[in-house]
């Protein structure tokens, strides 16, 4: 899974770099799924992507980053999407839409390739965190504004963020580990999980 710049339209250099990163990720996922994460080296990935090891390290620091970086950047991306939701949208609806929007920014085929790859290194799933401390604080601030609440005095903004991400993480972890031949789309699984959190209590 890779993400593209959202702050400004990408120029030619951005597009070239994004294409190289996409090739690296696709090559890595193929190799991980075929041989297992532990049995693939960065040199193997570079060769599969038809680039030099030096070029590989200009774009990616470690093998682990290939599987974890997009997930670890998720909180910041969701905060950015939340900021762009309509002002009149209820806080639970806006946060749910931002989380789902982040998930839907990934192609289903790419998600399935990533899932096949990370299943060869299930221990990495324990290191996946959908929400870091700084992103949590930012999201709580944004939700508090929508509620017209002071997060230092009102627990609802923090609770909504915490519960929403717990629901999304539950659905995400279940989806990743589902080894059935046919299984649900990740966006659908997370949508249903977030629906449990939605409630008028967040809108008063």
Note the pLDDT tens digit of each residue in 98-122: 999 999 998 888 888 899 898 898 8
Report d(CA 52, CA 95) in Å as an integer.
41
Is the CB of residue 75 less than 8 Å from the CB of residue 136? Answer: yes
Q: Which residues of the chain have pLDDT under 70?
A: 1-8, 128-129, 181, 204
Q: 140 with 198, same domain? A: yes
Q: 121 and 181 share a domain?
A: yes
Q: Please report the pLDDT score of residue 8 as a whole number.
A: 63
Q: State CA 58 to chain mean position distance.
A: 22
Per residue in 43-73, pLDDT (tens digit) is 999 999 999 999 999 999 999 999 888 787 8
Number of H helices, E strands in the chain: 10, 0
Regarding whether 107 and 51 lie in a shared domain, the answer is: no
Distance, in Å, from the CA atom of 106 to the CA atom of 134, rounded to the nearest integer, reads 23
pLDDT of residue 181: 65
Q: pTM for this one?
A: 0.84
Q: What is the pLDDT of residue 73?
A: 82
Q: Which range of residues forms the domain containing residue 20? A: 7-60
């Amino acid at each position: 899974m890779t993400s593209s710049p959202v702050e400004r339209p990408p120029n030619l250099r951005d597009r070239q770099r994004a294409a190289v990163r996409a090739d690296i990720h696709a090559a890595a996922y193929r190799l991980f799924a075929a041989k297992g994460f532990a049995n693939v080296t960065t040199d193997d990935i570079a060769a599969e992507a038809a680039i030099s090891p030096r070029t590989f390290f200009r774009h990616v620091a470690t093998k682990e980053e290939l599987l974890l970086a997009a997930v670890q950047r998720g909180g910041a991306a969701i905060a950015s999407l939340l900021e762009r939701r309509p002002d009149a949208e209820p806080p639970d609806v806006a946060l749910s839409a931002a989380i789902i929007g982040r998930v839907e920014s990934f192609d289903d085929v790419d998600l399935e390739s990533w899932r096949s790859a990370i299943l060869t290194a299930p221990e990495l799933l324990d290191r996946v965190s959908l929400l870091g401390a700084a992103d949590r604080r930012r999201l709580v601030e944004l939700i508090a504004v929508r509620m017209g609440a002071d997060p230092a005095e009102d627990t609802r903004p923090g609770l909504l963020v915490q519960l929403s991400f717990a629901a999304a993480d539950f659905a995400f972890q279940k989806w990743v580990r589902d080894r059935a031949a046919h299984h649900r789309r990740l966006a659908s699984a997370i949508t249903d999980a977030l629906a449990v959190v939605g409630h008028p209590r967040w809108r008063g």
